[in-house]
Amino acid sequence: MSFLEILIRGGDEGHHDVTQTPSSFLPEGYELLFGIPASLLVFGLLYKFAGPVIKKGMAARTAKIQAELDAGEAARASAEVESAKIREAKGDIESERRRILADATAQADAMLAEGRTRITAEIAETEAKAVADIASAQSRVGDELRAEIARLSSAAVDQVVTGSLDDATHQELIESFIQRVGAQKAGARK
Partner 1 sequence: MSDNRIEGYARGLFEIARAEGTLDEVEDELFRFARSYESSDQLRSALTDELIPPAKRQAIIEDLLGSKATSTTTQLISMVVGSGRTRDLPAIVDNLVARASAAKDLEVAEVRSAVALTADQQHRLAAALTNATGKKVNLKVVVDPSVLGGIVATVGDTVIDGSVRTRIDQLKSRL
Which chain residues interact with partner 1 by CB under 8 A?
Answer: 149-150, 153-154, 157-158, 161-162, 165, 167, 169-170, 173-182, 184-189
- Report, in Å, the least distance between residue 160 CB and partner 1: 10
- Report, in Å, the least distance between residue 132 CB and partner 1: 29
Query: CA-to-CA distance for 134 and 128, rounded, in angstroms?
Result: 10
- Report, in Å, the least distance between residue 187 CB and partner 1: 7
Residue with smaller CB distance to partner 1, 38 or 174: 174
Residue with smaller CB distance to partner 1, 20 or 184: 184
Residue with smaller CB distance to partner 1, 20 or 179: 179
Residue with smaller CB distance to partner 1, 137 or 174: 174
In degrees rounded to 5, what are phi and psi of residue 20?
-115, 140
- Report, in Å, the least distance between residue 149 CB and partner 1: 7
- Report, in Å, the least distance between residue 182 CB and partner 1: 3
Could you tell me which residues come within 8 angstroms of residue 32 by beta carbon, excluding any fewer than 6 positions away? Answer: 26
Residue with smaller CB distance to partner 1, 2 or 179: 179
Largest CA distance in the chain: 207
Contact by Cβ (8 Å): 10, 23:
yes
Cα-only R_g, the chain: 70
7, 173, 183 from 178: Cα distances, Å: 193, 9, 8
Other beta carbons within 10 angstroms of residue 7's beta carbon come to 13
